[in-house]
Structure 1
Amino acid sequence: MVVALDDAKRSAIAMKLADMKTIQELLIQNEEQFLKEINDNEIADHFRKMLEDDRKNKGVLETVNVQYGIQAEPEKTFTEMINKVRQLMQGSELSLYEKVFQHELLKHQQVMSGLTIHKAAQKVGADVMMAIGPLNTVNFENRAHQEQLKGILEILGVRELTGQDADQGIWGRVQDAMAALSGVVGSAVTQSSDKSDMNIQDVIRLDHNKVNTLFTELLASNNPQKIQEYFGQIYKDLTAHAVAEEEVVYPRVRSFYGASETQELYDEQADMKRRLEEIKAIDPSSSQFKDKIRQLMDVVGDHIRQEESTMFAAIRNNLSSDESEQLATQFKAAKQRIQEKAAK
């Protein structure tokens, strides 16, 4: 029997990630609506850039959800709250200023959720920190958006109350605040996800890094229950990763990577799956268990080195950036489907 790390802490983080994805979708809808309603070119430019960031960050959040490996749905009360906000934003009861004010509150909620997940991950496990790594960039950009929204609210609020424009200097203060924010936390944020979407190499490498972290955590533990749980997560992650690669990635690369080289990858993963099933039947408290894990690590390590060297090079040389990003999207979708099926 496979016991994974689906304890209360990890499930709670999964639900918070689902909340963030729901809010992200509403943020995008709001910004699309604002661009239709706002006549001020300077404000529209700020919302246009925010929309570009938020569309990209939706993809980052989807990556984090799949990488995390535990699928969850938002709580019913949270979904009801978001639906009420959506109705208000689409209706005529609120002024433009009030709608942007609500939008800023959603941004604040998104920032605090992201920071809370980051802090919680530090308490739960190194593999969780590895899985949510791309969330750092989302957190940073949302804080920058908050500073811009403060300036927009000041301009819209003064116009609504007085019919006149606010004093000059607002955007200068916003830029100063964003520069200060960048100086404080920018250097600590991983910027690897600042392109429009992650390519297939990025996504596969995230999986590799996470499973290596899980191996390290397992071998460092002397608690049979925790060892069993770490193995359970390794089993689930490697299985979903392997099946998604075999469905999506290997058929796509075979023509330019080579039939024999691609078949070698299939064979290595077949060996890996056989070893996973063998380990699953062993008592985690026995000395044999960790020996088998080390053997599995060697097999997985060889497989990772081949993919990250020769296969990644073949992808870079034969697929455009757009094609590589599309392959990543297909891989993530397949992996999520496999995870959801396994959870049922």
Structure 2
Amino acid sequence: MVVALDDTKRSAIARELADLKALQELLIANEQKLTPALSSDSEISDRFNDFIKDDQQDLAVIDGVLSKFGDGSPQPRDSIKQYVDQVNGLMGTDQLTLYQKVSIHERIKHQAVMTGLIVHKAAQVVGDDVKEAIGPLNQVNFKNRAHQEQLKGVLEVLGTRELTGLDPDQGVWARTQDAVAALRGVFDGLTS
């Protein structure tokens, strides 16, 4: 049996989707601003170009999901609008290093991932009609999560270059040392 949502829950989910749309638009704008600054590294630049393509496709998916809610055109929260304005302002200045800008971008990607997951979780508990409506959002969540992991690697490279002028050691032995250091941190935390 399909459970119909009351208007309050439907509006709350639609508002969250509007927030996600605003974040997705911000991600695209950031990627378009950051890509030229990353042009000296073809691998990172290519990755950002792929992000732009994926994020534009994902924006169309979000629009499609949002249209299924029939609430006209819900607007993002004022706090999200202010956040978008603030980030756009920061990304357009030279106050931040490239590493810092990409770090902000990764945090926005994380916020988009979590927003998408919360919509997914809400749909699981409120009814089959919403679960069906947001179905396409799962691919957006998957791609955003994959981008987030790739951005961590980009940050590692950019941060190391910024601090040392050198590329990080990406070899197997360096990765093993990273894993050992992480485990040491876990064990140290447990014993203290």
C-alpha displacement at 1:92, in angstroms? 1.2
Verify the 8 A CA contact 2:5 2:127 in the aligned structure 1: no
Q: How far apart in 2 are the matches of 1:108 and 1:159?
A: 23
Superposition pairs of residues 1-344 of structure 1, within 5 angstroms = 5-38=5-38, 39-70=40-71, 71-169=73-171
Q: TM-score, normalised by structure 1?
A: 0.47
Q: Report the CA distance shift for 1:122/1:51 in structure 2 as closer, same or farther (over 3 A).
A: same
Q: How far apart in 2 are the matches of 1:68 and 1:131?
A: 8
Verify the 8 A CA contact 2:20 2:115 in the aligned structure 1: yes
The runs of at least 4 consecutive aligned structure 1 residues that moved more than 4 Å come to none
Structure 1: tracts of 5 or more residues without a match: 174-344
C-alpha displacement at 1:6, in angstroms? 4.9
Post-superposition Cα deviations, 1:271-315, rounded to whole Å, max 9, x if no partner, equal xxxxxxxxxxxxxxxxxxxxxxxxxxxxxxxxxxxxxxxxxxxxx
Verify the 8 A CA contact 2:68 2:133 in the aligned structure 1: yes
Q: How far apart in 2 are the matches of 1:9 and 1:84?
A: 29
Post-superposition Cα deviations, 1:136-179, rounded to whole Å, max 9, x if no partner, equal 00000011001110000000000101111111249xx7xxxxxx
Letter paired with 1:7: D
Q: How far apart in 2 are the matches of 1:169 and 1:67?
A: 48
Verify the 8 A CA contact 1:21 1:61 in the aligned structure 2: yes
Aligned residue pairs total: 168
Verify the 8 A CA contact 2:10 2:69 in the aligned structure 1: no
Verify the 8 A CA contact 1:68 1:132 in the aligned structure 2: no
Secondary structure of 1:68's partner?
A: coil
Verify the 8 A CA contact 2:5 2:126 in the aligned structure 1: no
C-alpha displacement at 1:45, in angstroms? 1.0
C-alpha displacement at 1:105, in angstroms? 0.3
C-alpha displacement at 1:36, in angstroms? 1.1
What CA RMSD, in Å, does the superposition of the two structures yield over aligned residues? 1.5
Larger radius of gyration: 1
Q: How far apart in 1 are the matches of 2:32 and 2:171?
A: 27
Letter paired with 1:15: R
C-alpha displacement at 1:8, in angstroms? 2.1
Verify the 8 A CA contact 1:10 1:124 in the aligned structure 2: no
Q: How far apart in 2 are the matches of 1:43 and 1:88?
A: 21
Verify the 8 A CA contact 2:124 2:131 in the aligned structure 1: yes
Q: How far apart in 2 are the matches of 1:141 and 1:8?
A: 29
Q: How far apart in 2 are the matches of 1:6 and 1:79?
A: 27
Structure 2: tracts of 5 or more residues without a match: 176-192
Question: Which residue matches 2:181?
Answer: none
C-alpha displacement at 1:5, in angstroms? 4.5
C-alpha displacement at 1:17, in angstroms? 0.2
Letter paired with 2:126: V
Secondary structure of 2:96's partner?
A: coil
C-alpha displacement at 1:124, in angstroms? 1.3
Q: How far apart in 2 are the matches of 1:90 and 1:61?
A: 26
